[in-house]
Structure 1
Amino acid sequence: MTENPSTLYAKLLGETARIGWQELQPFFARGALLWVEPGLDLIAVAVALAENDQQTLAGWLQSGQVSKVEAPRAEDLLARDPALWAVVVAPWVLIQEREDAPTQH
């Protein structure tokens, strides 16, 4: 990609949305879902993927911070149906579970 990294980050951030597991199941069936551990910046992973930063991605994959969604995780997500955040970096859909901050009234 030739975009300025901060511009690309902002673009991907703007394309990130909440999504439920039901909508993600077709992507899981195609093997196109990547799980991003909650401690990692979802958008930073998307930027690295878009820029083909193989060294950074390899580190995350090796550490387990980023992984392909496998059947056990899919079954857990189906059972719990948590709030997920997703961003598309074709052909991948990156997903992350995030707990929303509690609202106080």
Structure 2
Amino acid sequence: MTQDLRKELTDMVGPTHWNWLKPHIARDAVVFVDPHLDLVDVGVALTNDNVQSVQRWIGEQLITKPTREQLDAWGISGPTNQLQSLIVQPYVLVQEILASADSGSPI
């Protein structure tokens, strides 16, 4: 069951834009996921009610409500920002996409 859920959630991860996030921010449903966490892992933990993992991530501030500064930055950068999202009802998980160190460089 977990592998099916993982695949389903992986297929649901995609880029997102500020305008799409606005209504979810207004209803306080956006959760920021630190870029060093796997977005699908967080989605699986929330879906499976894995309280231990979620509480640890909250305690370590790896999953948080977006700060005013983050919201302002996302709004300013508009469609050029690098955000991905995953809907895990009732939340919208949002994560900044980190540029990989080797992106664009030939091997």
Output the TM-score relative to the length of structure 1. Answer: 0.88
Task: Give the root-mean-square deviation of aligned CA atoms.
Answer: 1.6
Identity of aligned residues (%): 26
1:52 aligned to which of 30, 49, 54 = 49
Q: Contact 1:31–1:69 (CA<8 Å) still a contact in 2?
A: no
What's the counterpart of residue 32 of structure 1?
Answer: 29
- Name the CA distance, whole Å, in 2 between partners of 1:58 and 1:21: 27
Q: For residue 19 of structure 1, report the CA deviation from its aligned partner.
A: 0.8
1:11 aligns with 2:11: no
Segments of 5+ residues of structure 2 without an aligned counterpart are none
Question: Match for residue 92 of structure 1?
Answer: 91
Most deviating of 91-100 and 53-62: 91-100
Instruction: State how far apart, in whole Å, the 1-side matches of 2:76 and 2:66 are.
Output: 15
Aligned equivalent of 1:69, options 66, 83, 105 = 66
Structure 1's consecutive aligned runs of 4 or more residues displaced over 2 angstroms after TM superposition are 99-105
User: How far off its partner does 1:100 sit?
Assistant: 4.7
1:8-63 deviation per Cα after TM superposition (whole angstroms, max 9, x unaligned) = 11100001111111211110111000000110000000000011111110000110
Give the TM-score of the pair, scaled to structure 2: 0.87
Q: Which amino acid letter does the alignment assign opposite residue 43 of structure 1?
A: V
What is the deviation of 1:7?
1.2
> Alignment length, in residue pairs?
102
Measured in 2, the distance between the counterparts of 1:29 and 1:70 equals 13
